Structure 1
Amino acid sequence: MLQIILLLLPAVVSDQWSVRYPPSICAARGSNVTINCTFTYPPENDIKQVLWCSMRSNKGKCHYQPYVYDSEANNSQSFQDKTSNCSLLISNINQAHSAEYRFRFITNKEDGRWTGDPGVNISVHDLGVSMCRSRENGSTIPGDSLILSCTLNCSGNLAEVQWFKNGDPIQQSEPVLTFSRITAKDSGNYSCSLRNFKTTVSEEFTVYIEDVAGSPTVLIIVVSLFSLVFITASVMLIRRRKAKTQRKPMEEREEAQDSLYSTPQKTAYTNLPEAKDVQQEDEVEYSSVNIKPKEMLQMSANTEQQDDSTIYSTVMNG
């Protein structure tokens, strides 16, 4: 008895029905991303419809809407052709486009349908600027070396980029910006983007270079302030010394007057020579008083009366 065994050759079938995707794609937000893709099918089939779907909004074999691309719907996405090139262009990609993408094609045969599974993963990130410097601790000062790198937070090397300083383009296309001996003039806000895609520009990264020596303007201001303080202090010191010098004679005069008025008048008069003579005369007169007999007192009284009348008459005749 003859037995016929039919062997299915997956390799042959796979060669006839296949979709080839690129490796995972790391994309910068705002850029244009092309998914390079090719597909094959048996020659007796004719392509009727091609589809691209995202696994964020679809599942399985891309049987359901919505589609990223539908050749019959003629949407905004661009599809190359319907023969073997299934590359897809996504313009101005953003984080919402991060997903797994699969390609599906339908032929004119009833069983001529195929979906490439698994698909290709796209990861969308913002560009960023990172810094590497020679000084590990503290601030960066003139003379230090500094390296700025334009990076994506996913695998993949950037080819050409555009650097900006304070929003103005810099003639530098390498992803790495190197300062061998940085100066204070290099301070500023740095950003980068993909070449010819300013929509991918990163957030600004501030570089501040501390000028240890200080700028001439700052030095002049400091010296001027110091001179002003010194002159002001000198003027105040001179005025204080002058006021103190003028105050000292006045205080001496006031002390002299106070000592003069504080001396008793009696003491002042008793120190005069005339006062001493008067005092001595009084003492002589008082010491010459004697008690006389009665007769002598009467004689003396008569004599005084005669003298008074003589004096009086003299005055009248005059």
Structure 2
Amino acid sequence: MAVWDKKIIWGFMLLLAGAVGQSVNYPRSVCAMKGSTVTLPCTFEPLESVTENGKEVLIKINRVVWCPNHLVCQGSTPSVYNSESNNNNPRYRYLGDKKGDCTLQITNLQKEDNATFRFRVETNKNKATFTGPPGVKVTVSYSEMRIKSSSTETEMREGESVTLRCTAQCTFHQLEVTWFRDGSALPETGPALKLDPLTAKDSGNYTCCLKNNSVTLSQPYSLNVEAEGTTSAAVDTMLAIHLVLFVLHTVLIIIVASIIIKRTCVCRKAAAEI
């Protein structure tokens, strides 16, 4: 590799990381459903001071920026958050500060959020201005939701309990869902729907989707809850039926046997007279 190429690379790395001691700590890559909300926890360590001409100069942070798919994120680079702008997209909320917290929240995830986001600190001194590598990769998923049950049985009895969970390919962040039973919305909004204790009224087809996003509606999950005493009543009915059939069968055998015996006696009497 040429010496000039090495200089470019090292210069570029200095632009990214800044001086020694400066860093940004990002979360791991994040996967979330389209339409959901994701929070990117983030911290940074800026320099407190730099030395110029033998004097210590305190560092003042002038601007913090989040931008997608840009290695340096400087100047007029398109950003999703700029602390010095009044036109930030309200879908992107900066939950941090200019001291060490750089947490970013993205609401109503869209296709354009499928990107690598990086954080930049701009100060009163170039030596303390930096963009933190490597950034955090956000993947937006379009797969439909699925319902998983805490029980392997779909036939339940009154008094038992079951928890239905609304899941998908991605890990959820601050997930709000809408639950439905037979098409009617339920008041619960969390990813887990606990039914305890079960009643016969809980029977039905359950579906879920991200709040205000019907595109993610899950396939129905059928739950059948037997009313208390239903099983014993059914058993009693079957016993009664079996008993009636047994009596009828016994009576029929007696009748047939009586006819056979009677005919046998008649035949024997006729033979004796001859």
Please tell me the TM-score bracket, short chain as reference.
0.5 to 0.7
> How is 1:123-272 mapped onto 2 (pairs within 5 angstroms)?
123-126=139-142, 128-130=145-147, 134=152, 148-155=164-171, 162-165=178-181, 166-171=183-188, 173=190, 175=192, 186-188=203-205, 190-193=207-210, 198-200=211-213, 202-207=216-221
SS state at 1:51 partner? strand
Q: Separation in 2 of the partners of 1:158 and 1:81? A: 21
Partner residue of 2:59 out of 45, 50, 72: 45
CA displacement at 1:35 relative to structure 2: 1.9
Distance 2:189 2:77 in 1: 45
Name the structure 2 match of 1:73.
85
Considering Cα pairs closer than 8 Å and 6+ residues apart, tell me whether 1 or 2 has the greater RCO. 2
Rounded Cα–Cα distance in structure 1 between residues aligned with 2:156 and 2:126? 74
TM-score (ref. length: structure 2)? 0.53
The one-letter code matched in structure 2 to 1:108 is N
**Do the aligned partners of 2:148 and 2:167 also contact (CA within 8 Å) in 1?**
no
Report the CA distance between 1:176 and its aligned residue: 5.8
Distance 1:105 1:151 in 2: 37
The unaligned stretches of length 5 or more in structure 2 are 1-18, 49-57, 225-274
1:21 match: 26
Query: How far apart are 1:124 and its partner, in Å?
Result: 2.5
Structure with bigger helix share is 1
Cα drift, residue 54 of structure 1: 0.7
Asked if the contact 1:22–1:37 (Cα under 8 Å) also holds between the matched residues in 2, the reply is yes
Asked if structure 1 preserves the Cα contact closer than 8 Å seen for 2:163 and 2:192, the reply is: no
Aligned-residue CA RMSD in angstroms? Answer: 3.8
Q: Percent of aligned pairs with the same residue? A: 30
Secondary structure of the structure 1 residue equivalent to 2:78: coil
Distance 1:171 1:62, change over 3 A: closer
CA deviation map 1:193-223 (0-9, x unaligned): 4xxxx2355314234689xxxxxxxxxxxxx
* Structure 2 equivalent of residue 259 of structure 1: none
Which residue number in structure 1 is paired with residue 265 of structure 2? none
Q: 2: distance between equivalents of 1:158 and 1:35?
A: 12
Determine which structure has more spread, i.e. the larger CA radius of gyration: 1
- Of the three residues 109, 123, 126, the one matched with 2:125 is 109
**Which residue of the partner structure matches residue 54 of structure 2?**
none
Alignment correspondent of 1:61: 72
| Residue 23 of structure 1, CA deviation | 2.5
Match of 1:4?
Answer: none
- Equivalent residue of 2:212, what SS? helix
Whether the 8 Å CA contact 1:28–1:200 is kept in 2: the answer is: no
Q: Deviations over 1:52-84 (max 9, x none)?
A: 1111xx3x2224621122223332343333222
- Give the structure with the higher percent strand: 2
Distance 1:95 1:179 in 2: 39
Letter matched to residue 46 of structure 2: Y
2:111 matched residue in structure 1: 95
Deviation at 1:147, TM superposition (A): 7.5
- AA aligned to 2:38 is V
| Whole-angstrom CA distance in 1 between matches of 2:170 and 2:68 | 20
- Closer, same or farther in 2 for the Cα pair 1:189/1:176, shift >3 Å? closer
Return closer, same or farther for 1:130/1:72 CA change in 2, 3 Å cut-off: same
1:83 is paired with a residue whose SS is coil
**Residues 178 and 129 (structure 1), Cα distance of their counterparts in 2 relative to 1, 3 Å cut:** farther
Q: Judging changes above 3 Å, is the alpha-carbon distance between structure 1 residues 186 and 54 closer, same or farther for their aligned structure 2 residues?
A: same
Compute the displacement of 1:119 (Å). Answer: 0.8
Aligned partners of 1:172 and 1:89: how far apart in 2? 20
**Count of equivalent residues:** 187
